[in-house]
Structure 1
Amino acid sequence: MDLGKSDAPIDDKFLTELTSFDGFVLPTVYKELKKQIENLEVSERDVWICSFPRSGSTWTQEMVWMIVNNCDFEGAQIPIYERCLFLEKKGFRVYDSSGANPIEQINNRKDVQKPLVIKTHFTFKSLPKDISSELKKPKIIYVTRNVKDTCVSCYHYCKFIFDYRGDFSEFCELFLAGKVPYSPYWNHVMSYWQMRHNPNILFLRYEEMKSDLGGVIRRVSQFLEKPMTDEQIEVLIHHLTFETMTKNPAVNYTALHEPLRKVRPEGRFIRKGRIGDHKTIMSLDMQKKFDEWIESSLQDTDYSM
């Protein structure tokens, strides 16, 4: 697989806060924060949740935070963006209303014994240098999803957050060309897939979580060395069902997105969460184009969908 750079110009209709950097489409602020991120004080007690956007990271965050914090349902009423630090939060105005800098929060933590749950959409090599060089090995969970469903979810998200005004077919072309946030897609996924045999890295699939949530919870709890009882797992399964998540304001970014909902009332952070949802919107011709792109991208790898 070609893991080379893709620095093609970015469509400026909606990606006004993003730029091509080091072969990926990243928040413009990354150039400003690059040194701070590289030199971040990494604790091996922390848990990092990494993903390409709209692949299930919020679902994974809630699961991991609950496991790490012994199913603290009272604490889970606090908005997830306060409980789990979004590393590049300052790159997006919509998530930055609090003014808190997650990098400073990590570096200036008061309780160094308490593990933090940290979320990022950066590739493996863009993580703090202590991690990317493997000098330190905190637990890292990478979650991925069927790329066609990911594209659909990214489309609706970019309409809501970035006010993308093109149609879905145009967005698909941007996705395939590596011009949407954090793309090129396969370079992102492969940066973690190639590290999956490291004992500190767990590779999850969204579809696994949909088909066997209890089994995934058990795997994650074992990986984090936080054993759970069968009763705890059953309660957590209910807490993490799609129906429960859609009604939970703590994981829906309800307060942060309220201003956007006033101008784009149809927008939702947690939308459908269905497997195969791309079939309801993606034309057969576009599905074929994606299939050919997938086959070409994965021909020299051992990754399978």
Structure 2
Amino acid sequence: MHRRLLDYGITVLGLLASGVWGLMGPLHSLLMRLRWKRFRMYQFKTRPDDVFIVTYPKSGTTWMQMIAWQLKSGGSLDFRHIEDVVPFIDRCGPAELPRLEALESPRFFKSHLSYEDVPPGARYIYVVRNLKDVAVSYYYHHLLMEDFRGGLDVFVKMLVNRRTNGGSWARHVLSWLEHRNAPNVLFLSYEEMQADLPGTIRRVAQFSGIALDEERLPLLVEQCSVAFMKKLEARFDPRLSRRGNFVRKGETGEGLRELDATLQAALAAEEQQVLDRARVLDSSGALERLLRGEAPTNGAATEAEPQKQQKMG
């Protein structure tokens, strides 16, 4: 979209949204999307060594932010809030540009955007998580953050009908799945991270161009554990308050334990879209198993990372 046309559209929509009360909601939503498009396309400039941590909500975003910062800082805990050092780019605008520009390379950013909407020209770590576990974690997030009063069944219906802020889980995952083998994309699963945190830290370091001091690895593993992060709760909670635990259990399998057969069936169609595409992309079944939440045990994915790093230069 041409910059001048985009600016004109934003100006007109801003006037309409402030003057026509009945259209305020839809117009405001469109206005925000256009402002983000302008920011992404014309105002914010990526660097080749920028790394975007991208997930569907409640898929390990905060955890990966901590891993990234621990690697970049060598294990420092000198930060007020994780988004001070790994900003949430989706909520940034022109006013934040000086702060973003002042960050030392490699800059890490958090995002929940699809592949098509994320700022181009950088590196991307995408973390996918089993949909059933996402649903349960997202439900508790809504109870804590959105003052949600419904039950788990109500929330699952909202998720399936795409009435949560994250939109369609399938559409989000599919947008990144198609690019999982690109040299500037590191495609991980939450279950991989949990099964092998030291290996995950090594992969993220190599992908991000950070030299890892193996002697400091035990410290990084400890400080990136859920138990340790819970001790620093306020540094990860967006509200900076203590109404409840933002860092919860970090477990896998909650979906199977907390969702009854009816709720699991409600999520099946959304999940199946991704699994069907995975079979087409990888006939071996490895990709499908990863998306189902079955962490690999042979280390094959880890061994492939050096080749990807060489391609990236």
Under a length normalisation based on structure 2, what TM-score does the superposition of the two structures give? Answer: 0.74
Question: Is the 8 Å Cα contact of residues 41 and 107 (structure 1) preserved in structure 2?
Answer: no
Q: Deviations over 1:189-218 (max 9, x none)?
A: 111111111111101111111110011111
Q: CA deviation at 1:49?
A: 0.6
| Equivalent position of 1:213 in the other structure | 197
List aligned pairs for 1:254-265, cutoff 5 A.
256-258=239-241, 261=242, 265=243
SS in 2 for 1:127: coil
Alpha-carbon distance change, 274 to 225 in structure 1, aligned in 2, over 3 angstroms: same
Per the TM alignment, residue 248 of structure 1 is displaced from its structure 2 partner at its CA by 1.3
Residue 87, structure 1, aligned to residue 89, structure 2: yes
1:60 corresponds, among 46, 59, 64, to 64
Which residue of structure 2 aligns with residue 48 of structure 1? Answer: 52
Q: CA shift at 1:280, angstroms? A: 3.1
Match of 1:34 in 2: 37
**Partner Cα separation in structure 2 for residue 112 and residue 83 of structure 1:** 8
**C-alpha distance in 2 between matches for 1:296 and 1:107:** 41
SS at the partner of 2:202?
helix
Name the SS of the counterpart of 2:218 in structure 1: helix
CA distance in 1, matches of 2:55, 2:26: 19
Q: Work out the CA distance in 1 between the residues paired with 2:30 and 2:190.
A: 25
Structure-2 separation of matches of 1:43 and 1:106 = 13
Query: What's the CA shift for 1:297?
Result: 4.5
* Residues 1:19 and 1:49: Cα distance change in structure 2 (over 3 Å): farther
Show the counterpart of 1:173.
157
Residue 156 of structure 1: aligned partner: 140
1:225 aligns with 2:216: no
**Structure 2 matches for 1:83-232, cutoff 5 A?**
83-89=85-91, 101=92, 103-106=94-97, 109=100, 111=102, 114-128=105-119, 131=120, 136=121, 138-232=122-216
Q: Map Cα deviations across residues 226-246 of structure 1 (whole Å, 9 max, x no partner).
A: 121322111100111111011
Give the distance between the partners of 1:18 and 1:221, measured in 2 at CA: 42
Q: Identify if the C-alpha distance between structure 1 residues 220 and 38 changes in structure 2 by more than 3 Å, giving closer, same or farther.
A: same
Distance in 2 separating the partners of 1:18 and 1:151: 26
> Deviations along 1:13-66, whole A, 9 cap, x unmatched?
xxxx99799xxxx89833443311232211112211111010001000110112
CA distance 1:114–1:18, change in 2 (3 Å) = farther
Gaps of 5+ in 1: 1-16, 90-100
Instruction: Sort the Cα spacing of 1:152 and 1:28 in 2 relative to 1 into closer, same or farther, 3 A.
Output: farther
**What is the CA RMSD across the aligned residues, in angstroms?**
2.7
Q: Is the 8 A contact 1:87 1:103 kept in 2?
A: no
Aligned residues: 258
Aligned counterparts of 1:268 and 1:27: Cα–Cα separation in 2: 33
Going from structure 1 to structure 2, the CA distance change for 1:113 and 1:212 (only over 3 Å counts) comes to: closer
Shift in Å, 1:113: 5.6
Q: Does 1:290 align with 2:267?
A: yes
Distance change >3 Å, CA 110–CA 167, structure 1 → 2: closer
CA distance in 1, matches of 2:231, 2:100: 31
Amino acid at match of 1:33: W
Q: 2: CA distance between counterparts of 1:251 and 1:174? A: 29
Corresponding residue for residue 13 of structure 2: none
Distance 2:247 2:30 in 1: 22
Cα offset for 1:249?
Answer: 3.5
Q: Conserved in 2, the CA contact under 8 Å of 1:79 and 1:249?
A: no
Measure, in 1, the Cα distance between the counterparts of 2:252 and 2:127.
15
- In structure 1, the residue matched to 2:4 is none
Q: Percent identity?
A: 26
Any conservation in 2 of the 1:49–1:57 contact (CA below 8 Å)?
A: yes
- Larger Rg, first or second structure (1 or 2): 2
Confirm or deny: 8 A CA contact 1:45 1:113 kept in the other structure: no
Unaligned runs of 5+ in 2: 1-23, 282-286, 292-313
